[in-house]
Amino acid sequence: MTLRSLFFFDDWCLARRDNIARRLGQPEWVREATYADPTENPFSYPTVLYDEQRKLWRMFYLGRETMPGTLYRKDEWFLTVESEEGIHWERPDLTSTVPLPSRMRPHEIFDRQQMATGGSV
């Protein structure tokens, strides 16, 4: 795989910086590419990757349920959505492909009983 462009990359941790072209640009917000989960209270920063095998974009994020009237966490789920072009996202039903003993959401990808949070996804 040849990487031609990488957006919003902080190169402070690179051991070498040769053969790199840095260009300062202005990001453009694309409203229809902004994913808002219709049933979850998203928490943390999402991670978006391209899955070469499946030819899909995949977003990973935390969904959170809070205690009524507070911001305190009641429960969390490690979730995923998929997109063919990175603009329109769909929640996959993973109940038959990712067996989880304590599954609460069809697009949950990690057993929440085993999950420890505290940082970015």
Compute the Cα dihedral for 105, 109, 115, 118 and give only its sign: negative
First to last CA, the chain: 24
User: Which of 6-10, 95-99, 110-114 is least confident?
Assistant: 6-10
45-76 confidence digits (pLDDT tens): 788 999 999 999 999 988 877 777 776 667 77
pLDDT band at 7 (very low <50, low <70, confident <90, very high): low
Residue 9 vs residues 15, 23, 47, 81, 88: alpha-carbon distances, Å: 14, 11, 13, 23, 23
Sheet of strand 73-83: strand arrangement: 41-51, 56-66, 73-83, 108-110
Give the pLDDT score at 82: 94
Q: Write down the pTM of the prediction.
A: 0.66
